[in-house]
């Protein structure tokens, strides 16, 4: 059997395994190993599978993942999430839709300490939903704000998906983390603006909060300053070149630990370590499995053939990019973000590299492409049938119908698509901060 046919059979088998519910780490490792066995024989396949996984997982750059995850857990136990939400509530609650807007900006603040969107949605759901319910906010709007707000953790650094993309694409992780800042802020502002307009038109969706004094607003900032300093230290050290992303992540983890120390007990410390280990282990297992599968696809020659096939299409390069991004929108309905990223980037990135070299257009810069892909993965987190943030939020708010949560996310998806169109039209927004960083 020729390698291409074997590659296609492996892709079909992988799809069947994933839809049957098998974990992506096991499905990709099995398909990749069996494919290598068929191509190279058992002994070379076993040797390749072990050395590929071990060689990549011991990479120094991947150490940033458990450190950023630890930083997020310490920030949670330090009560930073609640403090950020409360400050946003005090400053924005008087606006039309103020509590929903505060939820979005509180989520954006927590995203700067937590790189996982589902964790952000779960934590903010427990904090914000009772307050939104207390003031009589519409269930669809309330849950939509929490679910969509949680997606910003995949864009605003420290983003786990940005680190994984940088690892797979062999791009600067520091530059990618910095590239997510402006699109992330744009996302938060556009969400807030959309909510303000909706509540201005239809005040019955929920009332503004009255009677908040200026002294209460300023007092609420005392729980925020530590997080602001932490963000400046972590991202500032990357931007100025004083530290690598891994070193900055270590600074962030230590800083979050010191901030959490007054509220930390042995049980919460142990939980932080265990959750960090479990989350990191899960991610590394997926990376290992996908690396074996991608290595097999490399032997079949499929990535190069796919790139050549796309390039020879008689359509504009921009349309090629849009079609690739639409593919992510479709895949996001069925796959989780990490798996989608690891499975697809090795296949489509050669095409992006070729378009960048042939056109010189920064729209096809791998860093710009990475941000756009992460943006599309964000949308997949709140669209049916497999919107992970929606499923997480359903567990937090069991009395709200799943359909209502998806409906509540609809307006945010529209805003997301508009934001993607803006970023495609003006890729300089993505590159503004990374191009000025000191290397």
Quote the CA–CA distance of 421 and 425 in Å, as a whole number: 6
pLDDT at 223 over 80: no
pLDDT at 72 over 80: yes
* pLDDT tens for each residue of 162-212: 998 998 888 999 999 999 999 999 999 999 999 999 999 999 999 999 888
pLDDT grade, residue 390 (50/70/90)?
confident
Which has more confidence, 437 or 175?
175
Quote the CA–CA distance of 337 and 26 in Å, as a whole number: 17
Across residues 314-322, what is the average pLDDT?
Answer: 87
* pLDDT tens for each residue of 331-380: 777 677 777 887 788 888 888 988 898 888 999 999 999 999 999 998 98
Q: What is the structure's pLDDT at 194?
A: 97
pLDDT at 303 over 80: no
* Non-local CB neighbours of 253 within 8 Å, separated by 6+ positions: 67, 68, 70, 71, 74
Which has more confidence, 310 or 434?
434
pLDDT at 311 over 70: no
Report yes or no on whether pTM surpasses 0.85: yes
Quote the CA–CA distance of 135 and 375 in Å, as a whole number: 32
Q: What is the structure's pLDDT at 307?
A: 66
Q: What is the structure's pLDDT at 59?
A: 76
Which has more confidence, 29 or 312?
29
Split into its structural domains, the chain has a count of 1
Quote the CA–CA distance of 295 and 158 in Å, as a whole number: 28
Q: Which residue has the tokens 């700067």?
A: 112
Tokens of 278: 């479990």
Across residues 242-261, what is the average pLDDT?
Answer: 88
Average pLDDT of the chain, as a whole number: 87
Q: What is the structure's pLDDT at 205?
A: 92
Q: What is the structure's pLDDT at 291?
A: 83
**CB-based contact 186:410 (threshold 8 Å):** no
Q: What is the structure's pLDDT at 222?
A: 85
Mapping DSSP onto H, E and C, the string for the chain reads: CCHHHHHHHHHHHHHHHHHCCCCHHHHHHHHHHHHHHHHHCHHHHHHHHHHHHHHHHCCHHHHHHHHHHHHHHHHHHCCHHHHHHHHHHHHHCCCCCHHHHHHHHHHHHHHCCCCCHHHHHHHHHHHHHHHHHHCCCCHHHHHHHHHHHHHHHHCCCCCHHHHHHHHHHCCCHHHHHHHCHHHHHHHHHHHHHHHHHHHHHCHHHCCCCCCCCHHHHHHHHHHCHHHHHHHHHHHHHHHHCCCCHHHHHHHHHHHHHHHHHHHCCHHHHHHHHHHHHHHHHHHHHHHHHHHHHHHHHHHHCHHHHHHHHHHCCCCCHHHHHHHHHHHHHHHCCCCCHHHHHHHHHHHHHHHHHHHHHHHCCHHHCHHHHHHHHHHHHHHHCCCCCCCHHHHHHHHHCCCCCHHHHHHHHHHHHHHHHHHHHHHHHCCHHHHCCHHHCCC
pLDDT grade, residue 83 (50/70/90)?
confident
CB count within 10 Å of CB 58 equals: 9
Across residues 292-311, what is the average pLDDT?
Answer: 76
Quote the CA–CA distance of 153 and 180 in Å, as a whole number: 10
pLDDT grade, residue 255 (50/70/90)?
confident
Q: What is the structure's pLDDT at 437?
A: 74
Q: What is the structure's pLDDT at 439?
A: 58
Range in 41-45, 288-292, 307-311, 354-358 with the lowest mean pLDDT: 307-311
- Half-sphere exposure (Cβ direction) of 232: Cα atoms closer than 13 Å: 6
Residue 362: left if φ>0, alpha if ψ -120 to 50, beta else—which one?
alpha
Q: What is the structure's pLDDT at 140?
A: 93
Q: How far is CA 392 from the centre of its chain?
A: 15
Across residues 212-229, what is the average pLDDT?
Answer: 87
Structural domain that includes position 114: 3-436
**CB-based contact 84:108 (threshold 8 Å):** no
């Amino acid at each position: 059997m020729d390698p291409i046919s074997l590659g296609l059979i492996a892709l079909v088998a992988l799809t069947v395994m994933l839809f049957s519910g098998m974990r992506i780490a096991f499905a990709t490792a099995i398909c990749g190993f069996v494919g290598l066995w068929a191509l190279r024989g058992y002994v070379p396949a076993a040797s390749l599978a072990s050395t590929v996984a071990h060689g990549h997982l011991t990479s120094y750059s991947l150490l940033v993942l458990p450190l950023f995850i630890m930083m997020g857990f310490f920030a949670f136990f330090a009560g930073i999430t609640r403090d950020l939400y409360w400050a946003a509530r005090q400053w924005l609650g008087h606006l039309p839709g103020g509590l929903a807007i505060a939820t979005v900006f509180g989520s954006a603040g927590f995203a700067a300490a937590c790189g996982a969107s589902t964790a952000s949605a779960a934590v903010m759901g427990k904090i914000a939903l009772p307050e939104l319910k207390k003031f009589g906010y519409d269930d669809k709007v309330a849950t939509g704000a929490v679910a969509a707000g949680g997606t910003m953790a995949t864009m605003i650094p420290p983003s786990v998906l940005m680190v994984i993309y940088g690892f797979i694409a062999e791009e600067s992780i520091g530059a990618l983390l910095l590239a997510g800042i402006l699109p992330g802020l744009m996302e938060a502002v556009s969400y807030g603006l959309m909510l303000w307009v909706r509540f201005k038109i239809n005040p019955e969706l929920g009332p503004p909060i009255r009677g908040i004094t200026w002294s209460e607003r300023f007092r609420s900032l005392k729980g925020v300053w530590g997080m602001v300093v932490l963000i400046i230290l972590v991202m500032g050290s990357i931007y100025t070149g004083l530290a690598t992303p891994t070193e900055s992540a270590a600074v962030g983890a230590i800083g979050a630990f010191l901030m959490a120390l007054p509220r930390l007990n042995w049980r919460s410390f142990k939980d932080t370590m265990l959750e960090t280990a479990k989350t990191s282990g899960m991610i590394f297992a997926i990376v290992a499995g996908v690396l074996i599968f991608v290595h097999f696809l490399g032997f079949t020659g499929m990535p190069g053939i796919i790139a050549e096939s796309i390039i020879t299409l008689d359509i504009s390069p921009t349309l090629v990019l849009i079609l690739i991004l639409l593919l992510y929108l479709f895949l996001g309905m069925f796959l989780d973000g990490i798996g989608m990223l690891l499975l697809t980037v090795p296949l489509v990135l050669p095409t992006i590299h070729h378009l960048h070299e042939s056109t010189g257009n920064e729209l096809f810069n791998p860093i710009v492409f990475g941000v756009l892909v992460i943006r599309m993965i964000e949308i997949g987190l709140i669209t049916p049938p497999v919107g992970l943030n929606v499923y997480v939020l359903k567990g937090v708010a069991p009395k709200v119908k799943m359909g209502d949560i998806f409906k509540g996310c609809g307006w945010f998806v529209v805003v997301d698509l508009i934001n993607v169109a803006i970023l495609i039209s003006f890729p300089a927004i993505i590159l503004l901060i990374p191009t000025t960083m000191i290397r």
